[in-house]
Structures are given as C-alpha cells and as structure tokens.
Amino acid sequence: MLATMRFAPMSWLAAFLMLATAAFAEDPQRILFIGNSYTGVNKLPDVFLEVVKSAGRREPVVKSATPGGQTLSQQLSQPPSQALIEEGGWDVVVLQGQSMEPALAEKDLTTREHFVKSAAELCKRIRAKSPKARIYFYETWARHADFWKEKAMVKEAGAIGANPKEMQNRLRKWYNFVAKDNKATVVPCGDAWELNYASAAPVRLHTKDNSHPEFVGTYLNALVFFGKIYDVKAPAPKWTGKLDEVEAKLMQGFAAQVLK
C-alpha cells in the first residue's frame, strides 16, 4: 500500500518557510553592547532590537552597559561592564571605544598602546566567559564639520585630524586594526555617516554639540548593526521610529552601501 501512495509536492511557500526557519535558528539569542554615550544616547540597543523584531527575526535578549565617556581601557575596570561580561553566555558582544580614542591613536603612542592592548584584553575576557561569542567593534563617526570652526575646540580638533574626512580615516584604520588583531568584525557605522554627509542633500545626523547622534543617526547605526550581525545586505525594516518613510528609506540606502 505504501508503494502506491502519492505525496503532494511541497509548496514553494512551505519550502521557503522551512528554509527561513532553519536560517533563523542560527540567529543570536543573547547580545551585549559595551560602550558609552554613543551607544546610550537614543538607546541604540533598544532601537536595534526594534529593527530586529520589525524584520521578522527571532527576538534576542539585549543588554548593555554605557557609562559616559569611557575608553576601552576604562571599561576594563567598570563594574557594570565587567559584571555583564562575567555573566557569560553571549552570542554577540559589541565594543565601542571613546569617540576620539582611535583618532588620537594615530599620533599619540600612549593612546594607541592603551587602545590596542585594552581591545585585546576585553576580547580575552569575553571569550573566557562566552567562548562562542562573535565580537564586533563599533566604528563610530567623525565630528561634524562645524566642530573644526569652533575656536574653543581648535587644539582638540587638530589632535583628532584636520577635518571630518581625516578623522574618519583614523577611526576606520584603528577599529579595523583591533578587529583584525582580535579576530573580530567591524560595524562600519561611521562609513555610513560619511556617505550621508558626502551626498547631495545630507541629513543632519549630529546633535548641536557636533558629536552625539540625533535619532536619525542612531537609526542608521541600528540598520548597519542589523545588517552586519544578521548578514542582511539591504536592511529594510518596517519599523522607522520617529522617521518618516522618505528619511528612513534614505538611511536604509546608506546602510546598504556599506554592507554590500
């Protein structure tokens, strides 16, 4: 009887759902962000989680430690950051240095040594408690061009580069250096910001302090994080937060360019 039975071919939808379920089973279940105000302002981990859910992916547990102004070296002795690293069992851990730290590392040897050694030590501690964790370095963005026009900031601005382009080059260089040195991955948020400001009609991503992100900048960062962590080349989540559809699509386009 079994030999004569006929089974209906699997529909394309059922086949797609099976493949999608298998792929999503590999989605990270626990994600940790270690950073400072560039992660904390606008609550990047929460915005990232909204993007993940909106894209229909498995919802992970997301935790963060974002003490203001901290360098990677200072994170080594921050109780909240270290307690979360010690908690272990993370699938993904994101590390973000102080906003000027990698730019200063280009010329200041002491800053460079601290940045490189602290990145290595943090990765070592993470892997001791979360052996399977994928580690990502959060490449941040250059100050707004107006920062170099402020007389009170002339000395500070010169130390991080002559202009936004030079600062971004330094950020990119040293985040890529520590990522390669520690078998980690860079999340190129700063590159996406650079594309926006080089466009014909750039959106203001910085707040008035020429440093921290407006919500639109945080949304762009969340898209780049989602693309990198979930291997999505062109993130287009339905959720856009405070943005209208036009602005959201524009940010999605910049994210896609750095993720291709």
pLDDT tens digits for range 173-221: 999 999 999 999 999 999 999 999 999 999 999 999 999 999 999 999 9
The answer, yes or no, to whether residue 252 has pLDDT greater than 60, is yes
Q: Is residue 10 part of a domain?
A: no
Please count the helices (runs of H) and the strands (runs of E) in the chain.
Answer: 12, 5
Q: Is residue 165 part of a domain?
A: yes
Q: Compute the half-sphere exposure of residue 8: CA atoms within 13 Å on the CB side of its CA.
A: 5
- pTM here is 0.90
What pLDDT does 150 receive? 81
Q: Compute the half-sphere exposure of residue 157: CA atoms within 13 Å on the CB side of its CA.
A: 18
Task: Provide the number of structural domains found in the chain.
Answer: 1
Task: Please state, in angstroms and rounded to a whole number, the distance separating the CA atoms of residues 101 and 167.
Answer: 11
The number of residues in the chain equals 260
The neighbour count for residue 193, using CB atoms within 10 Å, is 28
Task: Please state, in angstroms and rounded to a whole number, the distance separating the CA atoms of residues 13 and 17.
Answer: 6
CATH number of domain containing 58: 3.40.50.1110
